[in-house]
Amino acid sequence: MEAIGLPSLTISCSNFQLRKVSNISKRTHHYCTSLELSALKLSPSCTTHLLHRSTIRMQADSEDYELKQMKDMAAARKRWEALVREEKVKVLTPREAGYAIQLTNKTLLDVRPSTEHKKAWVKGSTWIPIFDVDDKFDAGTLSRQITSFVMGGWWSGVPTLSYNNQFLSKVAEKYPKDTDLIVACQKGLRSLAACELLYNAGYRNLFWVQGGLEAAEEEDLIREGPLPFKLAGIGGVSEFLGFTDQQRDAAAKEGWGYRLMFSARLVGVFLVADALFIGAQQVGHYLRDIRSP
């Protein structure tokens, strides 16, 4: 599931969770404290005691943090449902969005991150991401990136994302407040967050693409880019091996040739893993022979 946030939030998309900036600084403080322990001249028992207390405190913070994330997401969903229910944001299917773009020259605003947009985009659309890849190299970002990778990013290929502080200003530069804007993302959640921000900024003619571009069939929208819309949001090891739902659906349509390609990749992975295991064993035997008199 995509995680959504507002300007004061950052996002980690391995499991699509909302993160408060204050929590990031708090975690960084605990991390730095544990590193500084090694530089202090403390007795082993004192160091162990402090590390134990630091670990317990970090676990408690993590539990509170997860609970707050759940509450934030539930509150956000209620706000978005109200926007749609009160018709402050109109709902379009991908096919209806395609008709609107072709027949009425409405603008499609693509709010997806660069990793998804570069794979497939709607012809003539405007790309202004509400979240984009966080490639900074500070301690907080690196910590989030490591956590994202360990918690499933290696499998899903979803990068760590941060809120784009220039989102509203860039939209305002291109479009006046009375413009008809069709807002779309990959699965339909981040675009709802964008609609809320735009509505609060004064935009009143907003249309939300329900289900996102992933729900579009190829004939619904004029696509540009190397991949179908349905495959633009996948990545990582799961994409390489063809283990995503989107790829299984494509395999059912494409036939055996498509399936054989990913089967060959899976066999290749097992062969490489086996070769590495045998190689490690041989190196171990060689090192033991060197050490033996």
Q: Residues with catalytic annotation?
A: 185
**Which helix or strand (DSSP H or E) is residue 146 part of?**
helix 139-148
- The number of beta carbons lying within 10 Å of the beta carbon of residue 142 is 14
State both tokens at 4.
């959504």
Please give the Cα distance from 41 to 39 (Å, whole number).
7
- The number of beta carbons lying within 10 Å of the beta carbon of residue 54 is 15
**Which helix or strand (DSSP H or E) is residue 104 part of?**
helix 94-104
262 closest CA partner among 246, 280, 277, 247: 247
Show the 3-state SS of 51-95: HHHHHHHHHHHHHHHHHHHHHHHHHHHHHHHHHHHCCCEEEECHH
